[in-house]
Structure 1
Amino acid sequence: MEFNITLPINTKEITMKELLEKEWLVPRKVRHFLRTRKNVLINGDVAMFHQTVNPGDTITIIVEDSDYTIPDIILGNKKDVDVLWEDEHIIIVNKPAGKKTHPNQPNETDTLLNDVADYLQDNHQSPYIVHRLDKETSGAILFAKNPVVLPILGRMLEQKDITRLYEAKVQGNLNQTTSFTINQPIGRHRHDRRKRVIDKHKGDKAITHVCVIKQNPDTTLIECQLDTGRTHQIRVHLESIGHPIVGDPLYHPNPKGSSRLQLHAKELSLIHPFTKQKIVVKAKAALRK
């Protein structure tokens, strides 16, 4: 794999070693191979790792197949992939409701990861999971297209530099101000391994910001933004305040009224790890108002 990255105008003055290690999070072993093979270039010339890089420099990285573990993914159906945004490093797609993000068993093929793998195979690329959406949830989801950008995206997710905005329709009227926050720790259900619960003693920190969009006679349309990314976080938090999501088969005592969970990842935004371009992607198929 060969990558050519032109450093943006706001690149700070650092050495090649610092760029690879601290900014791009290239593993130590891979950095060693890059140096000994002379597989890093600056503007076409072999780079010295103590050399300073500058805005506008084109950095070429040549990565051997043996430097990283390439995932072995059974190919799905690329016709089912709805691409929202992509370049040579990342791809954002619109996940349909009812499709798993990734296989749980080695022989599973009908997941979004399988479909994206089929979509990328013609360019000899593979998808790498950055974050997940529940099977029942639709909307924007991000994949890395190579192992070089994957750890950078992982750090961005941990540092909340990747923003995800969700839309949901909940049961009943929310007698709240326009916006409020649910701050309740979430843990595993003691008797049902599929579910999560509010667990004030052993649960993990979970924070959901809620904004009321529209009150309907029996339901409320809301937007949610997460500070944390716990499994089923939005679903558990809304159920805990007595307003489960319409159509939720796990957390709504009477999920009738919708053929699917009314939860949609409507917007995803981030600063591109290499170009520093602001990317804001809106996913189609938002919930009915």
Structure 2
Amino acid sequence: MNQVNIAVSEEQTSERLDKFLSTTEPEWSRTQVQQWVKDGLIEVNGKQVKANYKVQAGDQIKVEIPDPEALDVEAEPMDLDIYYEDADVLVVNKPRGMVVHPAPGHVSGTLVNGLMAHCKDLSGINGVMRPGIVHRIDKDTSGLLMVAKNDMAHESLVNQLVAKTVTRKYTAVVHGIIQHDTGTIDAPIGRDKKDRQSMTVTKENAKQAVTHFDVIERFKDFTVVECRLETGRTHQIRVHMKYIGYPLAGDPKYGPRKTVDFNGQLLHAGVLGFDHPRTGEYIEFTAPIPADMQAFIDSLRNND
């Protein structure tokens, strides 16, 4: 069990304890904080209080974070689309609709379950729930992911992500007609205060996020773009394109109320490049747009 100590500043006074903590620590949900309060894991100035306690400037809050429940993650044989594999790294093309790693309430059918059946040697840096996983893409986003098969490779790939030297290019279909042929969106992303399950462009508890885009093709009501990630924040492309007024087609969370029926956003991680952790050689892979996404683009072209 880990302990976190937080002091309340003058600007944060009179906010509910559960809201204050979930805003201060974006990784903590408000429901999670409320449960910790009920379990007696949170004290304010040495005393237990209720979740609706209004914090005051100078309050000292102690949070005992319980250890995560150990979940039994089992290997499941799957027909994985492996693009590259050696003793250190593996590159896999994840289909749309597949979750990358297990989570409470969703411990089977994920990419990790399939990877565990495919190879026994995955890095352990991210623990039993995310073995080998260096970066993620959303459930309904398809495309290429790099997987570390040992801790040396994992550290190297993570360092490359931090240094922004990994090539990650996505193809997306967005609502509206983008007039500029190219652009850069430099806007910080953090947890949405109004919806804890969503991210948004904000200055509060946010991290720098940069997305570059190039227009590939314009249609009557849509634009196909290639987005290149400089940073890798949760839902980054989906949030950034909505922010500039061109939300992704089919996106149930960030798209317009009346979007296309595609069972998820039209977004594909098609290009992935990095320096090999052992040899230092730059390697790059390209996965074609999935058939259903290509069919949608073709229909736009035919209808124009």
Alignment partners' CA distance in 2, 1:204 and 1:216: 33
Match of residue 120 from structure 1: 119
Give deviations 1:98-117, integer Å, cap 9, x for gaps: 11111112761111111111
Match of residue 196 from structure 1: 199
Q: What 5-or-longer segments of structure 1 have no aligned partner? A: 1-70
Question: Is 1:145 aligned to 2:152, yes or no?
Answer: no
Q: CA deviation at 1:72?
A: 7.0
**3-state SS of 1:194 partner:** strand
Question: CA 1:285 to 1:169, structure 2 compared with 1: closer, same or farther past 3 Å?
Answer: same
Asked whether the equivalents of residues 209 and 226 of structure 1 are also in contact (C-alpha less than 8 Å), the reply is yes
Q: CA deviation at 1:255?
A: 2.6
Higher relative contact order (CA 8 A, sep 6+): 1
Match of residue 171 from structure 1: 175
Give deviations 1:17-53, integer Å, cap 9, x for gaps: xxxxxxxxxxxxxxxxxxxxxxxxxxxxxxxxxxxxx
Match of residue 76 from structure 2: 76
Tell me how many residue pairs correspond in the alignment.
215
**3-state SS of 1:118 partner:** helix
Asked whether the equivalents of residues 94 and 284 of structure 1 are also in contact (C-alpha less than 8 Å), the reply is no
**3-state SS of 1:248 partner:** coil
Question: Is 1:210 aligned to 2:213, yes or no?
Answer: yes
Alignment partners' CA distance in 2, 1:238 and 1:285: 19
**3-state SS of 1:150 partner:** helix
Alignment partners' CA distance in 1, 2:207 and 2:176: 28
Alignment partners' CA distance in 2, 1:248 and 1:106: 23
Q: CA deviation at 1:257?
A: 4.1
Alignment partners' CA distance in 1, 2:85 and 2:72: 22
Counterparts in 2 of 1:12-27, with a 5 A limit?
none
Match of residue 272 from structure 1: 276
Q: CA deviation at 1:167?
A: 0.6
Match of residue 31 from structure 2: none
Asked whether the equivalents of residues 199 and 239 of structure 2 are also in contact (C-alpha less than 8 Å), the reply is yes
Asked whether the equivalents of residues 166 and 272 of structure 2 are also in contact (C-alpha less than 8 Å), the reply is yes
Alignment partners' CA distance in 1, 2:112 and 2:150: 14
Alignment partners' CA distance in 2, 1:76 and 1:106: 17
Question: Is 1:133 aligned to 2:137, yes or no?
Answer: yes
Alignment partners' CA distance in 2, 1:240 and 1:125: 37
Q: CA deviation at 1:73?
A: 3.8
TM-score by length of 2: 0.67
Name whichever of 161-170 and 195-204 sits farther off: 195-204
2:246 to 243, 247, 253: 243
Asked whether the equivalents of residues 73 and 117 of structure 1 are also in contact (C-alpha less than 8 Å), the reply is no
Q: CA deviation at 1:120?
A: 0.8
Q: CA deviation at 1:175?
A: 1.6
Question: CA 1:135 to 1:146, structure 2 compared with 1: closer, same or farther past 3 Å?
Answer: same
Alignment partners' CA distance in 2, 1:169 and 1:145: 33
Question: Is 1:221 aligned to 2:221, yes or no?
Answer: no
Alignment partners' CA distance in 1, 2:270 and 2:260: 23
What's the % identity of the aligned pairs? 39
Residue identity in the other structure for 1:167: T
CA RMSD of aligned residues (A): 1.9
Alignment partners' CA distance in 1, 2:245 and 2:285: 31
Q: CA deviation at 1:94?
A: 0.3
Alignment partners' CA distance in 2, 1:78 and 1:120: 12
Residue identity in the other structure for 2:165: D
Give deviations 1:129-174, integer Å, cap 9, x for gaps: 1101011110000110122321111111111121111110000101
Asked whether the equivalents of residues 73 and 102 of structure 2 are also in contact (C-alpha less than 8 Å), the reply is no
TM-score by length of 1: 0.70
Alignment partners' CA distance in 2, 1:109 and 1:95: 15
Q: CA deviation at 1:78?
A: 2.6
Alignment partners' CA distance in 2, 1:257 and 1:219: 14
Question: Is 1:160 aligned to 2:164, yes or no?
Answer: yes
Q: CA deviation at 1:256?
A: 2.3
Alignment partners' CA distance in 1, 2:244 and 2:145: 27
Question: Is 1:252 aligned to 2:255, yes or no?
Answer: yes
**3-state SS of 2:119 partner:** helix
Residue identity in the other structure for 1:269: G
Q: CA deviation at 1:270?
A: 0.9
Give deviations 1:48-94, integer Å, cap 9, x for gaps: xxxxxxxxxxxxxxxxxxxxxxx974112332x10011111100000
